[in-house]
Structure 1
Amino acid sequence: MTSAQKKLVALSFDDGPNTGTTVRMLDVLKKHDVKASFFVIGKNINEESAKVMMRAHNEGHDIENHSLTHASMPSLSADSVKREVEITTALIEKYTGEKPQFFRPPYIAVSKPMFDAVGLPFICGEGCNDWEPQVNADTRTERILASARDGLIYLLHDMPGNEQTVEAVDRIIPVLKERGFEFVTVRQLFKEKNINPAKGIVYSDILHAEEWK
């Protein structure tokens, strides 16, 4: 089967790293032999959480940029946007030895000037409202499974206390594998589908990306 014929999805997680949920998510991914992409917030990287981030990197997961402070960026100056991204990139490189290749804007809030200020392709994704505590693991599981399609990037969260997403991910992986899906990182998704990520494009489903107007 060629890459074009494969059904590929990418799991991605926002708002880590931390020594709780991120660790348990890594345990689930290791259990199922699945690689994912972690979009980290720079201010969350400290001596202890950096060890978790390094574990993720060493186990084959991609570490990507989700800003320094999780500020809504359209209201920031170009210099402030650059600072948010560059400091986080430097922290990621310091601990993993590798620069991030993608950026996910906080709140998926995007403005045209941001594309000039940020030297990375923008990645969004499709979620299940897993930042809302009232959305339980059963509902998260149902929503994730219902939205599955080739080329999809899932946008989930490994923020502290978000154990119901850990549970949902543990459930959905074997089901989607049974349905013929393969799990890859966001970087691998672009490579496998032979798509070169471009500036000015917001990617959620890489086969149906949209240009920002």
Structure 2
Amino acid sequence: MKKIGLLLLSFVALSILSSCASVKKSMVTGISTIGSSDMYRPDESSAVCEPTETTEATAESETATQETEEEAIPDNQKMIAFTFDDGPDPNNTLRLLEMLAKEDVPATFFLIGQNVEMYPNIVKAIAKAGHEIGNHSYNHRDLTTLSQEEMVNEITKTDQAIENITGKRPKYFRPPYGSVNQTVADAVNRPIIQWSVDSEDWQSKNTSLIIERVTASATEGAIVLLHDIHQTTVDAVPELIKQLKESGYTFVTLDTLLDTPVKNDTYYGRDDFRPVGN
């Protein structure tokens, strides 16, 4: 009987391994590409037979995000959203994540596709911390100057790079330079995020000026534009958090800030959104 049992277990194990190999093969070819207004999505029949590091990171990030979203924001609290563009950066992003974790501050990171591919472990760290990740194009080119094919490539390559690591397609898009027209909006096919507070950190590269500009311009429901590729910006974050908290602000991700955002609309703040071109 023991020999028969062992033979049966061996047969079952071989069947499972064969099934997983077949599924993995189908996953490689199970991706469709977008047209001008329909973003690519993985084939719904795709499945994963064995857990991977990406799957674990996704599960942890989704749990962390859910816990953050479930925390009730009191009605008298002023909400504000920090957004960081152009990363991930090998010198600054991990340090920024430590600062945000210490102060229990969530943020949204708009990532460049080529940087995502170069620094996948940093992307995993962002996701595991429960922060939101958005698409900021692949090469940071002005999409309004590109051909339809080039524009779509900038969007889909970044979507795929992020999804390969986090398991999730970015929900939001921020156009490089804030440059957008209806053609870009149709290709993006999701809410487009601009900003209401510009730190101008890329220009000044001065920590004191960054703090002064953001705190002076902050309003309830604001979306703050920052760049984690600059050390001076990351240096400013602890003091920004301190002063804004003292002013009664609660830090949230875009998911919490925006109420049922609409694709192709452009969002400058929680209460400031409009169709592209308006």
Scaled by the length of structure 1, what TM-score is found? 0.91
Partner SS, residue 87 of structure 2? coil
Scaled by the length of structure 2, what TM-score is found? 0.70
Q: Of 240, 245, 250, which residue of structure 2 is paired with 1:172?
A: 240
Partner SS, residue 45 of structure 1? helix
Q: Determine if the alignment matches structure 1 residue 31 to structure 2 residue 95.
A: no
Q: Of 143, 167, 189, which residue of structure 2 is paired with 1:119?
A: 189
For structure 2, list consecutive stretches of 5 or more residues without a partner in the other structure: 1-71
**Aligned-pair distance for 1:17?**
0.8
Query: More helix by proportion, 1 or 2?
Result: 2
Q: Of 224, 227, 245, which residue of structure 2 is paired with 1:157?
A: 227
Q: Of 164, 175, 183, which residue of structure 2 is paired with 1:105?
A: 175
Alignment of 1:201-212 (within 5 A): 201-212=265-276
**Aligned-pair distance for 1:4?**
5.1
Q: Distance in 2 between matches of 1:112 and 1:147?
A: 29
Aligned residues: 205
Task: Show CA shifts across 1:51-80 (max 9, x none).
Answer: 011001101101110001101010112222
- Partner amino acid for 1:45? V
Task: Show CA shifts across 1:132-188 (max 9, x none).
Answer: 2x44111100111011111111111011xx111111111010111111110011112
1:81–1:118 CA contact under 8 A, matched in 2: no
Q: Of 129, 132, 147, which residue of structure 2 is paired with 1:62?
A: 132
Partner SS, residue 102 of structure 1? coil
For structure 1, list consecutive stretches of 5 or more residues without a partner in the other structure: none
- Partner amino acid for 1:177? K
Q: Distance in 2 between matches of 1:35 and 1:174?
A: 14
What is aligned with 1:139?
A: 209
What is aligned with 1:41?
A: 112
Q: Distance in 2 between matches of 1:208 and 1:46?
A: 33
Q: Distance in 1 between matches of 2:189 and 2:75?
A: 28
CA RMSD of aligned residues (A): 1.5
Q: Determine if the alignment matches structure 1 residue 189 to structure 2 residue 257.
A: yes
1:79–1:117 CA contact under 8 A, matched in 2: no
What is aligned with 1:198?
A: 262
Q: Determine if the alignment matches structure 1 residue 15 to structure 2 residue 86.
A: yes
**Sequence identity (%):** 38
Q: Quickly say closer, same or farther: Cα 1:90–1:3, change in 2 above 3 A.
A: farther
2:205–2:233 CA contact under 8 A, matched in 1: no
Q: Distance in 1 between matches of 2:129 and 2:73?
A: 26
Q: Quickly say closer, same or farther: Cα 1:116–1:3, change in 2 above 3 A.
A: farther
Larger radius of gyration: 2
What is aligned with 2:145?
A: 75
Q: Relative contact order (alpha carbons < 8 A, sep ≥ 6): 1 or 2 greater?
A: 1
**Aligned-pair distance for 1:201?**
2.1
Q: Quickly say closer, same or farther: Cα 1:204–1:4, change in 2 above 3 A.
A: farther
- Partner amino acid for 1:10? A
2:137–2:175 CA contact under 8 A, matched in 1: yes
Q: Determine if the alignment matches structure 1 residue 87 to structure 2 residue 157.
A: yes
Task: Show CA shifts across 1:1-39 (max 9, x none).
Answer: 866543100101000012211111111111211110000
